[in-house]
Structure 1
Amino acid sequence: MSFSFITVWQGMLHRVGLLWAFLALPRRQPIAPPKRHSIPILIWEMVIDSVASDMSGRRRWESKVANSLQSCSLTCRAWTPRSRYHLFHFIAMRCSNEHVEKLSTLLIQHPALESRIKVLVVKPDDHSIRGASLEEIPPVPGLLSQVPELRISTCYVAVMNAAKVEQSLCQFTSITTLNFYAVVLPSCDVLRRIILSFNALRSLIMELPEWSLIRTGPPSPIDSTCNTQIRLRELQITGQSGWLRDDHSIVFFQWLAKSGIVDSLQQLRLKYLVMTATRSCEAVRTVAAAASNTLEKLYIAPGPDLEFTEFGDVISQCSKLRVLGIAISYHRPSFKHLVSFLDHSSMFCPTLDLLFTRHPGGLDPGTDDWKSFDDLLQTRLWASLKVLGISQMPVEPTDASGLRNNIPRTCKRRIVYCWRGSELGYTPL
């Protein structure tokens, strides 16, 4: 019995010794997980801000950018506040009593949403059909009548409904920015009356505008002796060159220049509106001349065979001009017109942005042409010019290298290159 008791204790002590020896062994340190360099929330908010800034420009932002912001708000909890901040800045309204009632119910359920809305997008009832008629804008609920920006999107304003549309626009009393997107207007007189409905208007943006094909005759001259308090700060028109050649567009530009609305204009941006005729060039020149005392940014697009040297007189009068953007065909006649224009103008502009578009079948400027451009820069322009941007659209590897090789070395030292691919348009420097 004693033998068995001693044997049991020896076995227990042996096991305890093995356990103690195992615990005393040096242990391997646990492998730490790799450090994840997290991006600060501030950077993500800046990215979301850039997504929201795409709401204006070439895209139908009210559908595409809204989907992007909704996806950002559902990605993670940190992205939600900033995404909702931009997402609640605009709201789209269809011109039907049923949709307005639903919108009114939404604002009643969420009172804080009403004060956040800054942009109201107005669409026709059947907005899925391009060119659907805009008959009348119903009375908007709550504080929506005091939004600072109104966007009329993808519709056709018929002559018979023009008076109703103009009358319904009078309910908006605080509009400072008016944006037309793919709106077909019957005449320049209707456009004039719509603009005069907003006394606090400061920015007019027209994207893909069109005139109605149903014409009753040539446009009658507009009475420019209107007593209005409107003083535009920004005029931006993005469209096709055919719109600028239309008689209604010519009369509209003449009215802007004579009515005093553009006397305080600071930015004049004409994107894709190629001035192919002397009449269209003269109309744009008249508006720029009317705003010569306050104009700071000017973007024009002369035609491939248009002599626009006289435009230099207007540039010489713009004492506050800081940025001049010119989109022109990259072939020899247009390049010579550009050099003649710059030589004829007494320009004191710190930034010159040149966009060369490909001209099929044209003869590219050679070394001699670029040499004359470089001589002009050395003798005339470098005294005031600080930034020179040269870009080309579209860009092929051979085209980009050929354009670089033709530019003189003395000119290259001051150029800010911004080569772009098949992007339809360009972003000014």
Structure 2
Amino acid sequence: MLAHTPLLLQLDTLSADPRTGFLRLRHPVDVTSLPGWLKGQTQYPQIYWHARERDREFACLGSLQEIRDPAALAALSGQAKPEGGSWPRYYGGLAFDPDHAHWPEFGPCRFVLPRIELIRQGNHTELVCNLWLTDDNREAEMAAAREALNALQPALATAPLPPQPLTRQDSPDLPRWRQMVEAVLAPDSLSRIPKVVLSRQSRLALAQAYDPWDLIAAWQPLSLNCFHFVFRFSPEQSFLACSPERLYRRQERALATEALAGTIVRCGDAQRDAELAAQLLADNKNRLENRLVHADILTRLEGLADTAELSEPQILSLRRVQHLKREIQAHLHPGVTDAQLLAALHPTPAVGGCPRRKSKALIHALEPQERGWYAGACGLISEDVAEFAVAIRCGRLAPDSLTLFAGAGIVEGSEPDAEWQELDDKLATLLGALTHE
């Protein structure tokens, strides 16, 4: 029996079911690889989300509803629980600056309520078909759901990335980068804007197109302790990330967020890496960079939360670098929405700077490229749970190119060439998968 057959049988029984509103049909399935399952599909959009804690993984196809206006996100909160027993879950992203976001297909904001979800929670995986029934659309909605289920294809195996020469073009280049950093560090600028995160995009020309599902499968084992996600709205464009940074996770009124700022390399030797971690914890420049982030987050939560607690400094170890991290746990006031949280927390000083408005204005004045969804907020929203990662360690994939993005926090004590090297260190894992190093 095909995996979707039980859902078709459930769909047949809905003709005698009087319920309206959002309904979720579900059945257990056995799927080895969610990226491999998505690789086999022909329906769009295609979305993949894998939590940093590794216990939550989602693959999505098709669309019942879409939101492309950030102001409309407020409508996703405060909904009554549907008769079907669970709230709809929207997956999507918000640009770094929605007022300056013109990436084709992505725009300032795009959230999708998918037709099909493949959901893994721990060791349990379900295939889900979503419907939104009204008295007027019942037959058409059921027909669309049946068509989507019948269009499902078998999973394909992800494959190694094809070896190929990669021509790289950086924007800005190193001379321009030095000028940008020096502009941020000018005394009159630094006195008004103590931190600015400057970024670089590195465009790799491709002789042979990468499959996005092969690419994320190659990146995943090299980027543990990270969120992994892909947004593919058409065959021509994909946005992929292996982000170590949580923007926030909300479970009812419990909120978890973090200040992830401050970076040092790893060398692979345990003793030397421990020494480098101790150096990071003691370094004044990196401590300042992190302090500016967590102080800003705590300030922004003051009007939204009853309580907020800051952890002691920790080290988040990745394959090539390690970061300074301080976790924040908060309890939200009743009625606080995800739209409010996104407006308050995004973008954090870890990817923008502080003060927010002035640092964003300086970024737009200095950077030669548009960030789009780089340094944006990507994740999922439902009434009971929401989770967002910051879109860093990411790439925008087209048939003829892969553009990678990286940023570095510029504060008092920053050195242009050291910050340029930090950009390379942050991209080393992603690039290593392409060059098989």
Q: Higher relative CO (CA 8 A, sep ≥ 6), structure 1 or 2?
A: 2
TM-score (norm 1): 0.24
Name the one with the larger strand percent: 2
Name the one with the larger helix percent: 1
Structure of greater Rg = 1
